[in-house]
Structure 1
Amino acid sequence: MIQLLIVDDEAHVVDRLYATIDWASLGIEQVYKAYSGKEALELLEQLSVNIVITDIQMPGISGLQLIAEINRRWAKTKCILLSGYSDFNYAKEAILQGTEDYLLKPVTEQDLLATVKRVMDKLQKEWETVFSAQRLTYTFKENLPLLRGNLLQDLLQGQHVSELSLRNKMQMLELPDYYKQEFVFMMIRLESDFLEYDTGRLSLMEYAISNMVEELFAEKLDSWHTKDAHDYLVFVMKHKQETPEKGDMAWLERTASVLQSAVNTYLKGKISILLSTWGQFPEELNTMYNASLSTFRKRIGSEHELFMRLGEESVHTELSALQRLYEPPTLNHLLEAARWEDTEEKLSRIFDEMEKRFSESQEHLLEIYFSVASAFAYIAHKNGRQLHQLIGDDYNRMTEGIPFRTVNQLREWSNRSLQRMKEDMDQERKDSRVTLINDIRSFIDQHLASDVSLQSIADHVFLHPVYVSKIYKLETGENLSDYVNQTRMDRAVYLLKNGPDKIYEIATQLGYQRPHSFNHAFKKHYGMTPQEYRDHYT
């Protein structure tokens, strides 16, 4: 979306260019106005403007000073100078400031549109360079370790990814094919002196340990690692293609012990290591990760430089916990983002797991109930509402303490309550937008003779100009500037037909600085001048 700003201390020039030029023909969606360099800078601080058309001679901040400041602070914004001066020194200074073009007043619509189109084409080419395949490939390669770590982090947290999507992501990130392969899981906690390091030095130590792991285990295993939310280094390793057999667990333990010793000797720090049993990727990844966290908490605790292997019994113990309820994204996050369909899907997965694994467990049923009710109350209160206002009679069951005896009862209550919350919030948003549109139109109707710029409208409703512009178009299907122009034309027709006011008086009542600007806009809209219209219809 291209946005353009017109700057001139002569208000009639700004208004004429704003109202009479067919900016939409170039695909320019929004045009802003400023009547001084100071006002232009204030707008640029709030708005994402692509092209600025500015007069060269203005009191206070001149056009050249404005362009210099724009180049310093918003390098991607292009500037076009308008001037009544043909002096070569002005043109030379404009070129030195990096101005895209220098046009002499009075400029024709054809010349102005051609210049703006040329600047837009230049912007397009610059962005194409930014997104060029070669540059994107280079940037992608640079960030591969981070991207790989982020994907593993999502999988550790239990995020559901389809087979096709996961395979595609792993291929894109140039990872070995882990899918349906057996893997072993190694978790490393940095301890003792490492804990005293600053962030930069600690990152170097983590990088060094990761390199050590790759060096020591590369003989038999491919490795993939990340740093988790608990500051553990987590490695997922599988056998290389040329050695597909399960391998020797004793070799893994010996190699992990060598790693522990090497870190102590060469990096002067202590680490604790937990090594898992073999599991299948990705089905058992989240389960084994949670089991490893639990074992670290229960068996290793605050002791340093320990080595432990995760036994089968530890994994099975973790299986008694609900998984879907706590995997990201959480219910709170989904509700905050108003992702209603995703919330429904998450609830479905939660209850499917409950029916499959814990259908007879009242304790697990209560765990889900408390979590769902808490999430509903959280989002209601965050939106300034009471939960009972949103879910109606279903709230009574909560206050009366009537338990849910079956999974199906809780599922129905949750889905019904969610639907009521969605309907209420959708209606509230719709009502608030209708109120906003009415407020905007009322302000325009009452202030046509003064300032009805997007900035003044936004200030009136205490919202950001870009938001006001987008919401207005979203709700009405037309640009706000089109509504302002149409309102002026409708008012002009009424005054021409029904009042004695002279043309210049009508122009002033409609907010035009000069009758010429009004004549130009009216003729462009109706195909005749205001006087011709009055003569024809009265």
Structure 2
Amino acid sequence: MYRLLIVDNEPKIVKGLQQLFEEEIALELEVYRAFSASEALACLEKIKIDILLSDIRMPGMDGLELHRQVTRRWPRCRVVFLSGYDDFRYVQAALRQGGVDYVLKTDGDEAIVAAVAKAAEMLSEQMETERWIRSAAEQINETLPMLRKEYATSLLRGDNQASQLRMDELGIGLSTERKVLMVVGRVDCWRDGLSSRDRTLLSYAIQKMAEELFERTALFSLMTETSRFVWLLQSDAGTTGEEALREEKSDSLALFVQGTLESIQSACKAYLKVAISFATGSGATDWASLPAKYAELNDVLFHGLGEGEEMLLTDRYLVATGKEDKSVYELQARSKLQQLLTMEPEGSQEAREDFAETYLKLKEISLHCRNDVEVLSEIYYGVGYLLISLSNRNRGGQTARESGDYKWSSLGEHASWEQALRYLDERLEGWIHLREEKREENTHSIIRQLQSYIADHLDQDLSLGRLSDIVYLNPSYLSRLFKQQTGVGVLEYTTEMRILKAKDLLSRSMLKIHEIAGRVGFDSANYFGRFFKKETGMTPQEYRERK
């Protein structure tokens, strides 16, 4: 359904055209009206209009200037100009501005309907699926950096397995058949006075520096944050399989990388005036172990040495500090918990599913850490903090305190980790129930408010735009929501209420037909009569006589 706005400084013409198009069922139009260009612009500020049917000569702002204003707000809006004058200069000006059509008021209703139908057809063609697919294909190169980042991030989190096909599609020049060397980097501190844009530019400068210095290797660079980045390296793509295998066994690539990182540190300090720390693998890692290696190298940077700046450490540092006994599961558990705490489970269906999947993976990994109380307490209280925060969002003030959601059993109260996990499951299910209950309550409140307003204002403007103002919702979304909840559209419901009210007044009162028409929102008794007969099969007088 398209929205049509009719604009003319003569009210009779506007109302006549409104009735004409509301009766034109084949076009499926939602009709709005305005009696001046300024009134039309006010309407356009509140709602998206698809087709503008406007007089070309009006006092104050004429139709041509209105068209210019409209296309600035809604570029896809199609325009049909109306005029009582056969003025070729106006015709030329309208066509130069991209007006869909130009119709004389004297041409009759059929010509006007045909022009609006043509505009609707052009809008439909514009929305063809193939057109959007072609446009998406043309822009795919612009989205590649974002898609690469999403895919690489999913590999580091363990949400995806490395796929050569997907890497080739994204232009990531690494081989899944060979191990990969990982480097995790961090900008330790920025110069004073740098803006966010300056920091981003310096981060990209560091990436470019790495690309030049690692030219003999295959490098993929991922900026996880403005101050943090990950590099994945393999021997040059031209290296044969046997040569690559020998390099992996001799760790020559790791030695080359470590030496080059020294140069990058020095160059960044001298030319970019930033201090950088690196943690790198002492050898190449297979793709399946990438999430664990990523967590391990982040752990290396977190603990660090000395003043914690300009560090250059490998994973072997953990051996020297006695921390090498950290299991893969411990590293994965902490990484998965960190991921869970940054997710937004109140968003889209996809976001909720991602949250549930991450939570299940965290539970599965945690079962391998049941002897590590530190890790289990991090998971237990980390998830607890998240669930208390989510519950508080859906309850307010006194309600939150009365609910007891803030109360939390300590880990020591549970006889086993499995029992603690069941407790977390129960609290999570409680939050999900609360969220759905609150959403349903809010939805029903909106629908009841609308139905009450419609019943009390049948003699007034009940357009979708007006109703959306009452409940502060987007008109298009309001239309979908109302139909989902009631089974009928807003306009259909409004029509039904007006007909019921009209029937009641016709059968129970002595009001005249034109008075009843006014009470149910019609300016004209004739239009009300045609509308009533279309809906009931009888004229208002016939209905009254039968009753």
Tell me which interval the TM-score lies in, with the shorter structure as reference length: 0.7 to 0.9
Corresponding residue for residue 382 of structure 1 = 393
Secondary structure of the 1:457 match is helix
Corresponding residue for residue 511 of structure 1 = 521
Cα deviation digits, residues 289-342 of structure 1 (max 9, x gap): 333233234335656555333326467547435336424353762146675554
Residue type of the alignment partner of 1:450: Q
Corresponding residue for residue 487 of structure 1 = 497
Secondary structure of the 1:67 match is helix
Corresponding residue for residue 19 of structure 2 = 16
Question: Any conservation in 2 of the 1:332–1:375 contact (CA below 8 Å)?
Answer: no
Corresponding residue for residue 255 of structure 1 = 260
Q: Does 1:354 align with 2:350?
A: no
Q: 2:414, 2:521 → 1: CA distance?
A: 65
Corresponding residue for residue 371 of structure 1 = 382
Change (3 A) 1:310 1:124: farther
The equivalent position to 1:502 in structure 2, one of 507, 512, 537, is 512
Unaligned ranges ≥5, structure 1: none
Corresponding residue for residue 418 of structure 1 = 428
The equivalent position to 2:227 in structure 1, one of 231, 243, 246, is 231
Q: Does 1:176 align with 2:188?
A: no
Q: 1:146, 1:273 → 2: CA distance?
A: 24
Count of equivalent residues: 526
Change (3 A) 1:515 1:93: farther
TM-score, normalising length from structure 1?
0.83
Cα deviation digits, residues 426-479 of structure 1 (max 9, x gap): 233223322322221221122111222223323333444344323212211222
Cα deviation digits, residues 385-430 of structure 1 (max 9, x gap): 445766x7xx697369872222222222222232233233323322
- Deviation, 1:236, is 0.8
Residue type of the alignment partner of 1:291: E
513-522 or 32-41: bigger deviation: 32-41
Corresponding residue for residue 469 of structure 1 = 479
Change (3 A) 1:297 1:417: closer
Corresponding residue for residue 115 of structure 1 = 115
- Deviation, 1:34, is 4.3
Corresponding residue for residue 76 of structure 1 = 76
- Deviation, 1:230, is 5.5
Change (3 A) 1:372 1:109: farther
Question: Any conservation in 2 of the 1:189–1:232 contact (CA below 8 Å)?
Answer: yes
398-407 or 73-82: bigger deviation: 398-407
1:511-530 matches, within 5 Å, as: 511-530=521-540
Question: Any conservation in 2 of the 1:6–1:18 contact (CA below 8 Å)?
Answer: no
Secondary structure of the 1:186 match is strand
Question: Any conservation in 2 of the 1:20–1:520 contact (CA below 8 Å)?
Answer: no
Q: 2:190, 2:199 → 1: CA distance?
A: 10
Question: Any conservation in 1 of the 2:530–2:539 contact (CA below 8 Å)?
Answer: yes
Corresponding residue for residue 46 of structure 1 = 46
Q: 2:225, 2:60 → 1: CA distance?
A: 53
Question: Any conservation in 1 of the 2:304–2:311 contact (CA below 8 Å)?
Answer: no
Corresponding residue for residue 288 of structure 1 = 293
Q: 1:179, 1:195 → 2: CA distance?
A: 42
Q: 2:466, 2:373 → 1: CA distance?
A: 59
Unaligned ranges ≥5, structure 2: none
Question: Any conservation in 2 of the 1:49–1:77 contact (CA below 8 Å)?
Answer: yes
Change (3 A) 1:82 1:433: farther
Question: Any conservation in 2 of the 1:272–1:306 contact (CA below 8 Å)?
Answer: yes
Change (3 A) 1:5 1:402: farther
Corresponding residue for residue 187 of structure 1 = 184
Change (3 A) 1:5 1:291: farther
Secondary structure of the 2:103 match is strand
Q: 2:188, 2:355 → 1: CA distance?
A: 39
Secondary structure of the 1:334 match is coil
Secondary structure of the 1:277 match is coil
Question: Any conservation in 2 of the 1:472–1:480 contact (CA below 8 Å)?
Answer: yes
Change (3 A) 1:331 1:270: closer
Change (3 A) 1:423 1:50: same
Q: Does 1:277 align with 2:282?
A: yes
Change (3 A) 1:486 1:168: farther
RMSD, aligned CA = 3.7
Q: 1:238, 1:279 → 2: CA distance?
A: 8
Residue type of the alignment partner of 1:461: V
- Deviation, 1:359, is 1.8
The equivalent position to 2:454 in structure 1, one of 441, 444, 454, is 444
- Deviation, 1:179, is 3.4
Change (3 A) 1:372 1:294: closer
Q: 2:31, 2:491 → 1: CA distance?
A: 8
- Deviation, 1:173, is 0.8
The equivalent position to 2:337 in structure 1, one of 321, 326, 330, is 326
Secondary structure of the 1:398 match is coil
Corresponding residue for residue 312 of structure 2 = 307
- Deviation, 1:497, is 3.9
Q: 1:334, 1:181 → 2: CA distance?
A: 36
Question: Any conservation in 2 of the 1:187–1:275 contact (CA below 8 Å)?
Answer: yes
Corresponding residue for residue 100 of structure 2 = 100
Corresponding residue for residue 159 of structure 2 = 160
471-480 or 171-180: bigger deviation: 171-180
Question: Any conservation in 1 of the 2:295–2:335 contact (CA below 8 Å)?
Answer: no
Q: Does 1:213 align with 2:210?
A: yes
Question: Any conservation in 2 of the 1:14–1:33 contact (CA below 8 Å)?
Answer: no
518-527 or 372-381: bigger deviation: 518-527
Q: 1:421, 1:192 → 2: CA distance?
A: 40
Change (3 A) 1:211 1:139: same
Q: 1:373, 1:107 → 2: CA distance?
A: 72
Secondary structure of the 1:225 match is strand
- Deviation, 1:352, is 1.2
Change (3 A) 1:212 1:371: closer
Q: 2:189, 2:422 → 1: CA distance?
A: 51
Q: 2:41, 2:103 → 1: CA distance?
A: 22
